[in-house]
Amino acid sequence: MKGWTRYVILGAALIFFLFPIVWIILTSFKNPGEFLSHPPKWIPRQPNLTHYFAVTQLGGYKALKNTLIVSSLTTLISIILGTPCAYSLARFRVGGKNLAFWFLSHRMLPPITVAFPVFLLFRSLGWIDTYQALILTHLTFTLPYVIWMMRSFFKDVPIEIEESAQIDGCSYWQIFTKIALPLSAPGLVATAVFCFIFSWCELLFGLVLSRTEVVPLSVQLPRYFGQQMVFWGEIGALSTLSMLPIFALTLFMQRFLVRGLTLGAVK
Amino acid sequence: MQSRRYRLLAVTFIAPSFLVILAVVIFPLLYSLSLSFMHWDALFPGRQFVGFRNFIQAFQDKRFLLSFVHTGVLLFSIVGLEFLIGFIIALALLEEFYLHKVVTALFILPVTVIPTVAGFMWKLIFDAQYGPLNHVLSILLQRDIQYTWLAQTSTAYLSIIVTDVWQWTPFMILVLLAGLVSLPRDVLEAAEMDGASGWQKVRLIIIPMLRRVATVAVLLRSLDTLKLFDIIFAMTQGGPGTSTETLSYYIYRNGFEYFRMGYTASLSYIALAIVSIVVLLLFGRLEE
Amino acid sequence: MFKRFVTLILVFLLVVLLANLAEARSAAEIAIEEAKKYAGQTLTITWESGLQAQGIRAILPEWEEKTGVKINLVELSFWDLHDKVIMEHLAGTGAYDALAISYAFMGDFVSAGVIEPIDEWVAKYMPPEALEDIHPAFKRAFQYYGDRMYALTADGDVLILYYRKDLFEDENNKLEFQAKYGYELSPPKTWQEFYDIAKFFTEKYAPEIYGAAIQRGMQSYSWFTGQFIAYGGQFFDLETMKPLINEEVGIKVLQDMLKQNEVMPPGIVKWGFMEVLAAWLDGKVAMIITWPPVGRWSEGYGTRTKQLAWVPPSKVVGKVGYAPMPNNRSTLAAGFSVGVASQSKKKDLAYFFAQWLTSPEVSLQVTMLPFTLVDPFRLSHYRSPMYRNAWDNAGEYLDTLYEAAKGGVLELNIPGAREYFAALEQAITACFAGEDPQKALNKAAQEWENITTRIGRENQKRAYQAYLELQKSIWEGQ
């Protein structure tokens, strides 16, 4: 594609993809009279942080904290459990391709099919509204993801290196920790970031399993959508707060984005 | 001796993950299997074994069947549009230009926005009175437009589609761009020498060579769209009427708004069966 | 008539008051005394999120200071006050102690065993005059299910009609209207008049002013119910429990609603409470039918407080008249009472909190907070001199609320009400999206039939019968 058509397409696309983000950020700085006006006011006259303070009272920062805790722990646990598993699948070839695929298939399940049974199970354990409930359910999609991705990263490590290490008398454990892991470290970091983002964005399990104590962002936001009043300013503020850390992480991880999003199918 | 340690280590590496999945997915599923044969309404005491009645009822439940249709309509239009737009933009991004890196990076942002947030963003944009979309239309058409996008079935679909296209086209762009970049340069240059037009180049060379990458991208998006829930929850709540109720959303409503426990369990099973078949049929291809 | 009634009650209460003055303690005092024994504990309460919660938050410090009992206020959206509370009950965590209950949830809550009957506490701790002080309509509908009492009224919601006196009293308008429709321009007494008047103003003033606005994007079934009952509609056949909403009356109501939409502002089908309020305060509509807080904010009463910063300044101060909904059938829409959760581990304390919050002195304080959504529900609220002088025609406002509730229309409160509402609402929104009313209502009726079958026909028949009797008792003023 050449010349001006190309720039027109890119320009239009940029406006389309960035406008909603810009709009919600602008909304978070507007006065109610500005976002509740017809026709809408585009630029806030006196940008202010009122809504950012208001969400403190309305559980916004608690939700931010909860989401951070759940996402971090989910990521950590997925990596700790999933990486050895992936290595085992890649190098020891346990269960062949089928087992790997079995793990991955859980990433594809619609969460709603598990949400209901899981709710009943956690209810009898008294785990409703606890961090472990959210983390465990988030593992159902992050763990298969880590296993599948890390399996492909481990496969990229030339087997000759590991074989020569074995000849030098390294144990399997040493090969795993001293050679395979360091060599696939960038992949590991990328996978971790993706786990974090998936967990960060999750809605359904949060909706079903959280009540007051561990409410995540995705569940807190709809609560500003009241019967009498839509708190657009608060929605804008909390949305902005929810986007910024992830944007930073993503830009940092750009190199692995494609591979991560296609489950390693496209490198 | 060594092979025993080898096997032991292999199994210890796998066991924890295996157990987690077993505990959080398989075990609850088995438990709810028994529920799916019961009449159990959480609002009223008592459960009763009813055999396959829930399943039979599900296949007579128009709303359930329609939720498949809604999901299907959304799936085809969403994935189709995302592919088309993604492909065009990927082509536009193929050659280097000033600020190329920055522009590509900006395209990524929507993918990482919480879907609920994406839903609300667009709900605000589509708002009849306070939304910028109607405002822009009013200026363009020189009259006051207060169109209610989410109150009409057709435009409610349009709104959902636009939102999902907004969020996931960047994924298509990235994947297809990765595919395009890895195409052998010499083939394209040779075609250019032979005087192939731009369109011919796309049709005869790029598309066939991009097939594998494109399949992966479309497959992944389709599987994700099959579980569409978040955007519906944030934007239409299945309305107007029940015309945008997707499979996931209808099951959610039954379980967590109407508390039909036994029935929800059986609906979950039917959905699970169907999705599993789709996954089994299509997903083996991913690693080829 | 009403004035005499009020005076009578006043005298009666004065006598009671004087007679008891020596040793009587008020409902609030008793509650505080008893609650003090639990100092240091925390009570968890559900409440509607947003403005509703702001109101109650404002008086919680007083409770905490006087009793030493901390309150953990859990804010939930309106429907979550039903869904999440039932889920929590199923989960069996006993996390909530006192619950905000909309009377329409009562059937579900009682059959699922979510709430505890409170008769015994009431008998023991509630001064009878505090109970008698509650408006008869709310006293029955908001507190009882069957023969047992489950909750104390906390918020007397009733939809009434607000109209622009300046437009209605304008001589030109009067003449023109009379000439065109052959009767006098005055607040509509029937739904036909409502339509005529709305059409008249819209044709004359639009787009500066539209004839009417009703929130159509949310909870439309409340307005449907009002008109449906006004037209003599029956939800079910009492013999068979066959749904009757898809018969003549229901279709007529839906067709009327569609017709009304045409003379309301563009985009009305997506309007919520806020859009109606904003347009009204901005002077852009001649009539609205909505909840009581709008009446207070129209007069600029307290809109300068921080919590109401989002309310646009009122341009209709001093221009507002009040009337019940057409046919004097005003929907008792939503409305809240406070009950005790059956799984709570602090039931006594939960009850004392409910008694304190709804007591005459505390509730008057809450209903008069400018930013609250809590509306008058006690006889002592309607006749409070302070309230009646809050703005010029505040007395008229309070009298209208009182009268409207007397002719109030009950929303379904039978088990499964939330599902029946959902099906009806889906039919309404489908119609707004272009579906044929008959078809949409047939679908809703089919859904209703399925719900009834699932829940149990005999059970529902009894519940519906009780609902009808309750409705009748309100109209007969018992």
Residue B139 is part of a domain; what is its CATH number? 1.10.3720.10
Asked whether the predicted pLDDT for residue C125 surpasses 90, the reply is: yes
Residue B238 belongs to a domain: yes
| Partner-chain contact B129 C440, CB within 8 Å | no
pLDDT more than 90, % of chain C: 76
C432-454 average pLDDT score: 94
| A136-175 confidence digits (pLDDT tens) | 999 999 999 999 889 888 988 888 888 888 888 888 888 8
Asked whether the predicted pLDDT for residue C31 surpasses 90, the reply is: yes
> What is the reported pLDDT for A173?
86
Same domain, yes or no: B85 and B8 = no
Q: Which amino acid is at B243?
A: S
Residue B89 belongs to a domain: yes
Residues of chain C with Cβ-Cβ distance to B148 below 8 Å are: 267, 269-270
| Partner-chain contact B107 A235, CB within 8 Å | no
Q: How far apart are CA A116 and CA A64, in angstroms?
A: 25
pLDDT-based confidence at A80, cuts 50/70/90?
very high
ipTM: 0.90
| Partner-chain contact B287 A265, CB within 8 Å | yes
> What is the reported pLDDT for C11?
63
Same domain, yes or no: B139 and B4 = no
Return the domain boundaries, chain A.
1-48, 58-261
> What is the reported pLDDT for B1?
38
Pick among B13, B138, B169 to test the A interface (most A CBs inside 10 A): B13
Residue B112 belongs to a domain: yes
> What is the reported pLDDT for A267?
67
Given a contact cutoff of 8 angstroms between Cβ atoms, the answer to whether C135 and C112 are in contact is no
Which residue of chain A is at minimal alpha-carbon distance from C85?
A211
| Partner-chain contact A229 C273, CB within 8 Å | yes
B240 touches chain C (CB under 8 A): yes
Same domain, yes or no: B167 and B243 = yes
Residue B41 belongs to a domain: no
Pick among A205, A229, A231 to test the C interface (most C CBs inside 10 A): A229
Alpha-carbon distance B157 to nearest alpha carbon in chain A (angstroms): 18
Note the residue count of chain A. Answer: 267
B287 touches chain A (CB under 8 A): yes
A33, A58, A229 ranked by CB distance to C274: nearest: A229
Given a contact cutoff of 8 angstroms between Cβ atoms, the answer to whether B239 and B156 are in contact is yes
CATH number 1.25.40.20 is the correct assignment for the domain at A58-261: no
The domain tally of chain B equals 2
Give per-residue burial for C128-162: e unless 16+ CB within 10 Å, then b: ebbbebbbbbbbbbbbbbeeebbbbbbbbbbbbbb
B92, B112, B229 ranked by CB distance to A246: nearest: B112
| A53-75 confidence digits (pLDDT tens) | 888 877 889 999 999 999 999 99
- Token pair, residue C214, equals 């009703």
Which residue of chain B is at minimal alpha-carbon distance from A42?
B132
Given a contact cutoff of 8 angstroms between Cβ atoms, the answer to whether B202 and B91 are in contact is yes
| C225-273 confidence digits (pLDDT tens) | 999 999 999 999 999 999 999 999 999 999 999 999 999 999 899 898 9
A3-29 average pLDDT score: 92
Residue A230 Cα distances to A108, C169, C270, C272, angstroms:
34, 35, 13, 9
Which of A119-123, B174-178, C381-385, C474-478 is predicted least confidently?
Answer: C474-478
pLDDT-based confidence at A93, cuts 50/70/90?
confident
Same domain, yes or no: B3 and B92 = no
| Partner-chain contact B148 C435, CB within 8 Å | no
| Partner-chain contact C426 B43, CB within 8 Å | no
> Which among C276, A57, A22, C268 has a CA at the least distance from the CA of B124?
A22
Q: Supply the range of the domain harboring residue B95.
A: 61-287
Asked whether the predicted pLDDT for residue C22 surpasses 50, the reply is: no
Residues of chain C that touch chain B, judged by Cβ-Cβ distance less than 8 Å: 79, 83, 86-87, 90, 108, 111-113, 207, 217, 265-267, 269-270, 275, 415-416, 418-419, 422, 426-427, 429-430, 432-435, 440, 454-456
Asked whether the predicted pLDDT for residue C23 surpasses 60, the reply is: no
Residue B56 belongs to a domain: no
pLDDT more than 70, % of chain C: 93
Which residues in chain B come in under a pLDDT of 70?
Answer: 1-3, 283-288
Residue B51 belongs to a domain: no
In order of start, what are the domains of chain C with their CATH numbers? 2-157+334-389 (3.40.190.10), 160-216+264-329 (3.40.190.10)
C461-471 average pLDDT score: 95
Asked whether the predicted pLDDT for residue C1 surpasses 60, the reply is: no
Residue B123 belongs to a domain: yes
- List the chains bordering chain A where 3 or more Cβ pairs fall under 8 Å: B, C
> Which among C337, C383, C340 has a CA at the least distance from the CA of C358?
C337
Residue B223 belongs to a domain: yes
A169 touches chain C (CB under 8 A): no
Alpha-carbon distance C52 to nearest alpha carbon in chain A (angstroms): 9
C188-204 average pLDDT score: 96
Asked whether the predicted pLDDT for residue A43 surpasses 80, the reply is: yes
Q: Which residues contact C253 (CB under 8 A, 6 or more apart)?
A: C224, C227, C228, C231, C233
| Partner-chain contact B115 A140, CB within 8 Å | no
Q: How far apart are CA A138 and CA B100, in angstroms?
A: 36
pLDDT mean across residues, chain C: 91
Q: How far apart are CA B193 and CA A76, in angstroms?
A: 53
Residues of chain A with Cβ-Cβ distance to C273 below 8 Å are: 227-229
Estimate to the nearest angstrom the gap between the alpha carbon of C53 and the chain centroid: 16
